[in-house]
Amino acid sequence: MRKRRFKLDKTKITVSLLFIAALLVGCSGGGGGGGASGDGPLNVSIMTMYYTPEPPGKDNVVIKEIEKRTNTKLNITWVSPNNYADKVNVTLASGDIPDLMLLDNAFTAQVRTMVAQGALWDLTPYIKDYPNLMKFPKETWTNTKQADGKNYGIPRVRPVEGGGFVYLRKDWMDKLNLEVPKTIDEFYDVLKAFVEKDPDGNGKDDTIGYASFVDQSGMASLGQLQNVFTKTNGDWSLVDGKLVNVNLLPGVRDALVWMNKAYREKLLPEDLATLKNSQAKDLLKAGRAGGFQDTVEAAWEPTEELRKTDPKADFLPLVSLNGYVNRDSGFFGMYAIPKTVPEAKMKKLLELMDYGASDEGSDLASFGIKDVHYKEENGVKVPTEQAKTDIVAQQALGQIFIKYDKYLRAYRSGMPSDILERNKQIIDERAKLSVPEVAVGLNSDTNTKVGTELGKKIQDMKTKVILGKAPIEEWDRFVGELKNDPDLLKITEEINASYQQRISSSE
């Protein structure tokens, strides 16, 4: 007798079992953890990441203050961003999911499967009852919707303006009598002057125009310059109602020709293909490079370092080039609530996160207690040494409890008021013409399987052209093949189907 063989999908089994467990717990009414019915503090387990050297401890004074003000008992598992994705995978597969769990990537195959299986709370009907969460931008909620058009998490909100784009040494431009560039050609001329006209005045031929680099998976700090040529934010461009992979557009070819010329004329680092992000920043802080790509407030980091020896040093974030600047998605991950949490407690968790999105809750989490952890100077919160001791920072508790602030990317600690006000003006100007990413959260199973390798293949050819190891005609030939690549054709079909589903679900 011939035996039949079955191939089991472990992920689906795990999630299915989790879903069954969720239903059982939900029916039994267990797992409330106290507080949901008013009997003492609400026990809340949270998993999130931190960007401070060390995470806050359980006896952290600000955590205790938040607990007091919200009648909760917070059990926070802090995970380094270096291995957060691995921790998420293990935790989701285990089924032992905390009450609030930061999913730094809200659209992994594992998360999509859990949504399909009903293992996470659909928060869509409840959000309207929490006024501070409703202050998040419309894009924030739209871009975190899953394929069915529903929200299965509370977004870790971020501003939509002020994201990564080009910034340049304003003091060098002033010294060389250069105008702030508005086009990509003017930008090229500025970089050329930075390299050839000794902007630091040391009499040496040792300055780099743009501290850029690429990596195996993408254009990295040259990404926004590519976007300037394509007028596209991300990998997909909407052409005649359909999404087309950006690498098939003529704008990418134009960008590669421009970058190859810049590389040949030594406006870009010689070791562009191996340079790391930290090394590029070191070039800025050493006064050797005139530009980089980062968020608006991040331009203060090298400025602050240089001003220790040069008070006039100044990196200026540009508003746009060729009328283009990117608009961000409005979120960086989301906090999901598993269906193992009963509805009454789920509402209490939303209440807690709504407090965290208020002025009081967000300021307490990010800046701590006034006159203990910060001082008010000219309307700016200046952290004290005690803030460092108690690990009070936006990079820690501010990753859980955060309000929407249009100007979040305008300010960094220690920044003078004139830079802050200038950054706010830049953000306002960008808002008039910024371009959103149309493909945020769209799904392609084929891309999940082969997209990484395909992306590396594409980037490898781009890098060769930029470095002059392959002529632009090689890129033309490569694009011809890419247009008929079965994997990319399938990815394109699936991405467009996902896009159409999103449109129909939002109508």
* Structural domain spans, the chain: 10-159+330-405
Q: Does pLDDT of 475 surpass 90?
A: yes
Q: What is the mean pLDDT of residues 16-29?
A: 41
Cα–Cα distance between 65 and 431 in angstroms, integer? Answer: 37
Cα–Cα distance between 323 and 332 in angstroms, integer? Answer: 26
Confidence of residue 379 (pLDDT cuts 50, 70, 90): confident
pLDDT of residue 506: 67
Q: What is the pLDDT of residues 431-443, one digit of tens each?
A: 999 999 999 999 9
Cα–Cα distance between 283 and 269 in angstroms, integer? Answer: 10
pLDDT of residue 143: 94
Cα–Cα distance between 92 and 77 in angstroms, integer? Answer: 14
Q: Does pLDDT of 2 surpass 60?
A: no
Q: Does pLDDT of 341 surpass 70?
A: yes
Confidence of residue 381 (pLDDT cuts 50, 70, 90): confident
pLDDT of residue 22: 42
Nearest in space to 358 (alpha carbons), one of 43, 93, 69:
69
pLDDT of residue 38: 57
Q: What single letter denotes the amino acid at residue 361?
A: G
Q: What is the pLDDT of residues 302-316, one digit of tens each?
A: 999 999 999 999 999
Q: What is the mean pLDDT of residues 372-386?
A: 88
Nearest in space to 161 (alpha carbons), one of 275, 327, 355, 313:
327
Cα–Cα distance between 250 and 85 in angstroms, integer? Answer: 35
Tokens, residue 191:
């970089």
Tokens, residue 93:
């597969």
pLDDT of residue 11: 43
DSSP string, 32-99: --SSTTSSSPEEEEEEEE--SSSPPPTT-HHHHHHHHHHTEEEEEEEE-GGGHHHHHHHHHHHS---S
pTM of the predicted structure, to 2 decimals? 0.84
Q: Does pLDDT of 18 surpass 60?
A: no
Classify residue 211 as exposed, middle or buried by CB count within 10 Å of its CB (0-12, 13-18, 19+): buried
Q: What b/e readout covers 413-433, taking b as 16+ CB neighbours within 10 angstroms?
A: bebeeebbebbbebbeebeee
Q: Which CATH architecture has domain 10-159+330-405?
A: 3-Layer(aba) Sandwich (3.40)
Q: Compute the mean pLDDT over every residue in the chain, rounded to the nearest whole number.
A: 91
Q: What is the pLDDT of residues 124-136, one digit of tens each?
A: 999 999 999 999 9
pLDDT of residue 297: 95
Q: Does pLDDT of 507 surpass 80?
A: no
Q: What is the pLDDT of residues 202-241, one digit of tens each?
A: 999 999 999 999 999 899 999 999 999 999 999 999 999 9
| Phi-psi sector, 459: left (phi>0), alpha (psi -120 to 50), beta | alpha
Confidence of residue 503 (pLDDT cuts 50, 70, 90): confident
Q: What is the pLDDT of residues 285-304, one digit of tens each?
A: 999 999 999 999 999 999 99
Q: Does pLDDT of 19 surpass 60?
A: no
Cα–Cα distance between 37 and 276 in angstroms, integer? Answer: 52
Q: Does pLDDT of 21 surpass 80?
A: no
pLDDT of residue 25: 39
Q: Does pLDDT of 322 surpass 80?
A: yes
